Amino acid sequence: MKQLLTLTIIFTFSFVSRSQEIVDPAKLWSCMEEHCHEWGSEFSTDFYRFEEDTIINSLTYKKVWISEDENHEIWNFYGAFIREENNRVYYRQMFGDEGLIYDFNLEIGDSVLVNNPRAVGEVWLHLLEIDTITVADDLRERWRMVSSEYQESDYWLRGIGSIAGVLNSSMSIYGGLCGFYALLCQYEGGEKVYENPEYNTCYLYTVGRDEVTEGNTSIIYNRDLCSIEVKLQNRSDMAILITDISGKVIYKNEVNSKKETIPFGFKNPGIYIVTIVANSQKTSIKLMSY
């Protein structure tokens, strides 16, 4: 009888763990956000986790916590709450009603009204297709969610959430609006289980104008002008190399100049590395294109 009770407890715990798609205190997400300014854009990374039960209108929520430092050591209450029931996830801000942000009960062809309080409004999303991706050496479902009103898609990953970020369900479908969100990584139990292959980093912080100067070489990236400018103190031979984060060569050239401007407006967003070799000196800068 004791053995049967133990097996029952283990099975129940296992089922509950698997049933928690999103709202799990063992999970942590990092999400990048674009901030739009008149002079261009800058990017920042926030970490999110859900802990500490709170009762609101007889419903049990977890508090949403946020950390802005790279090592995510300092946490603050985000002023929002989240709960999960029957594979549906609901989100509410401090002052306002809750909205449905995920429904993982759908089948291909089904529709759901997503009403994310963080988005510009509610929207009907249709589950168009399901494929799989590898997450921590395991296959995870990826759902493509589309709208009849907008051209962009939202992708939901089982147990992870929207590819735009765990709290940003439906927000990626509003194409043309300034402000961009992207899920970078997810951790479970302190271990990284997912990393966005477009960025290959869990923390990204940039400003509208990146600049690095070493010795006689300056590299300036201006997002507003979509250009990279290389300056030397004196005219000299220089080798210019641009690669993506995996090392794939995107641009390569050798010139004899004091100043060189390189258009930089690639279609695929991501992190790129610009390396200049001049006068036996190597200078590099890491930047993000969007």
Q: Examine the domain organization and report whether 156 and 271 are in the same domain.
A: no
Residue 119 has pLDDT above 60, yes or no: yes
Kindly state whether residue 36 falls inside one of the protein's structural domains.
no
Q: How confident is the model at residue 282 (pLDDT cuts 50, 70, 90)?
A: confident
Please give the Cα distance from 14 to 23 (Å, whole number). 15
pLDDT tens sequence across 31-42: 998 776 655 567
Q: What is the pLDDT of residues 67-100, one digit of tens each?
A: 998 899 999 999 999 999 999 999 999 988 999 9
The label of the residue with tokens 């759902």 reads 143
Residue 47's alpha-carbon distances to 31, 78, 199, in angstroms, are: 6, 11, 16
* In-domain check, residue 201: no
117 and 248 assigned to the same domain: no
Q: For residues 13 and 117, state if they share a domain.
A: yes
Q: Which of 34-43, 47-56, 269-278 has the highest mean pLDDT?
A: 47-56
Instruction: Name which of 22-36, 87-101, 209-223 the model is least confident about.
Output: 209-223
Q: What is the mean pLDDT of residues 222-238?
A: 81
Q: Does residue 37 fall inside a structural domain?
A: no
The whole-number average pLDDT for the span 38-67 is 89
Q: What local confidence, expressed as pLDDT, does residue 267 receive?
A: 56
CA 56 – CA 62 distance, rounded (Å): 10
- 100, amino acid identity: L
Question: Does residue 20 register a pLDDT over 80?
Answer: no
Residue 276 exposed, middle or buried by CB count within 10 Å (0-12, 13-18, 19+): buried
Regarding whether 238 and 154 lie in a shared domain, the answer is: no
Kindly report the CATH number assigned to the domain that includes residue 244. Answer: 2.60.40.3080
12 and 98 in a common domain: yes
Does a structural domain hold residue 262? yes
Mean pLDDT of 261-275: 74
Both 21 and 157 in one domain: the answer is yes
| Same domain? 228 vs 104 | no
The whole-number pLDDT of residue 36 equals 67
116 exposed, middle or buried (CB, 10 Å; 0-12, 13-18, 19+)? Answer: buried
Whether residue 67 contacts residue 60, with contact meaning beta carbons closer than 8 Å, is answered with no
**Statement to judge: residues 99 and 147 lie in one domain:** yes
Q: Residue 11 has what pLDDT?
A: 36
Q: What is the mean pLDDT of residues 119-134?
A: 93
User: Across the chain, what does the average pLDDT equal?
Assistant: 84
CA geometry: angle at 194 spanning 62 and 51, to 5°? 15
Evaluate if residue 18 carries a pLDDT over 80. Answer: no
The proportion of the chain whose per-residue pLDDT surpasses 90, expressed as a percent, equals 47
Does residue 187 lie in a domain region? no
Residue 35 lies in a domain: no
Q: Are residues 16 and 81 in the same domain?
A: yes
Number of domains in the chain: 2
Question: What's the whole-number mean pLDDT along residues 274-281?
Answer: 87
Do 154 and 15 belong together in one domain? yes
Does 242 score more than 90 pLDDT? Answer: no
Residue 183: inside a domain: no
Its domain, for residue 75, covers 2-26+45-175
Does the pTM of the predicted model rise above 0.85?
no
**CA nearest neighbour of 275 among 255, 251, 257:** 251
- Give the whole-number percent of the chain exceeding pLDDT 70: 83
Domain boundary pick from 119, 153, 175:
175
Q: Which of 175, 196, 226 is the last residue of a domain?
A: 175
Residue 184 located in a structural domain: no
CA distances from 32 to 39, 99, 135, 184 (A): 20, 22, 19, 7
pLDDT in tens, 175-196: 655 667 899 999 999 999 999 9
Residue recorded with tokens 């036996």: 280
The verdict on 21 and 152 lying in the same domain is: yes
- Helix, strand counts (H, E) of the chain: 1, 19
Among 175, 193, 218, residue at a domain's last position: 175
The DSSP code for 172 is G
CA–CA dist 264, 10 (Å, integer): 55
Token pair in block for residue 24: 């799990």
Here the tokens at position 219 are: 């590299």
Residue 227 shares a structural domain with residue 166: no
- Residue, of 288 and 102, whose pLDDT is higher: 102
Q: What is the C-alpha to C-alpha distance for residues 158 and 89, in angstroms, rounded to an integer? A: 12
Beta carbons within 8 Å of 279's beta carbon, 6+ residues apart: 215, 216, 217, 232, 236
